[in-house]
Amino acid sequence: MEQRSFGSAVRVSVLGAGCARVGSISNPVPLRETEATLKAAIEAGINVFDTADIYGQGDSERTLGRLLRRDRDRMFIITKVGHDLARYAAAIRIAKPLLRIVAQSRSDTQSVVLQARTRAISQNFYTPRLRGAIEGSRRRLGLDQLDALLLHSPSLETLRNPEIHDFLAELLDSGQAARVGASVESLAEVEAALTMPAITMLQIPVVVANELSDTVALEQIRWRKIGVFVRGVLSGSVAGARPLREAVRAAIAPDFVTAAIIGVSTRRHLNELLSAVS
């Protein structure tokens, strides 16, 4: 598979596996099957795996941690922090097998379960909380040093906060993360993220990537060799009626895009994505 580089010659596959639904209550695919699909992705040359501490109540990171023990040299893990799970989220994880069965058997029950999960999540970029979250991610992934740590959908205020700037620099200096950055939602947030000297990565919706052409922000991205990872490639009006193959190829066409992150749960979907970049 084609690879592209960013930063200090980091090379990653142009297609990355999104792991937001790994271990999720709403995912009907058994975790064992999902794990087998991720193994197949590694064998196919995908080395980028995108997760977060809250995905699957931590089970997404735990699953990738198991794969890392076998394929450390073939995996580049991006994880994200900045959201808190309520205290009862631990109970959700314990009851997950039963909740998944109930949620999938009745649509009305599924809605209630998913709403409860959503209410269990809140943003928290207080630096002591972030330190604890990062320690948890390192433990679940089994890594002393994270490959890449991103702030998870921070506000403009958070992105402009000098304390957050210093915190990201501290992560690099301490060796807790090899690379830091932000997963943002808008062009204004891209511009705010670029005020942080430490960042070498951005994760953005593909629609925002399309807005970057001929901007000062793109000039900075190129000059600083910042990795740009696009998401939302197959969602909503982005793909529309466009075939999957065309949507994926359009997403990775810009030379400043490092990789496209697309959720992968089944072998069939993986094969479709692989055919799009072959």
pLDDT in tens, 235-250: 854 445 568 999 999 9
Residue with tokens 């000039």: 219
Residue 110: pLDDT over 70: no
* pLDDT 10s digits, 201-226: 999 999 999 999 999 999 999 999 99
Rounded Cα distance between 192 and 187, Å, is: 9
Q: Give domain limits for the chain.
A: 3-82+124-276, 86-123
Q: What is the mean pLDDT of residues 127-152?
A: 97
pLDDT band at 265 (very low <50, low <70, confident <90, very high): confident
Q: What residue ranges in 109-254 does DSSP mark as E strands?
A: 121-123, 148-152, 180-183, 201-205, 227-231
Rounded Cα distance between 15 and 19, Å, is: 13
State residue 113's pLDDT score: 54
Rounded Cα distance between 165 and 229, Å, is: 21
Q: What is the mean pLDDT of residues 250-268?
A: 95
Q: Which CATH architecture has domain 3-82+124-276?
A: Alpha-Beta Barrel (3.20)
Report the mean per-residue pLDDT for the chain.
Answer: 89
Q: What is the mean pLDDT of residues 28-35?
A: 87
Question: Containing H/E element for 10?
Answer: strand 10-13
Q: Indicate the Cα dihedral angle 179, 180, 183, 186, nearest 10°.
A: -110
State residue 108's pLDDT score: 55
Most confident of 21-30, 102-111, 155-164: 155-164
For residues 92 and 273, the model is more confident at: 273
State residue 23's pLDDT score: 72
pLDDT band at 96 (very low <50, low <70, confident <90, very high): low
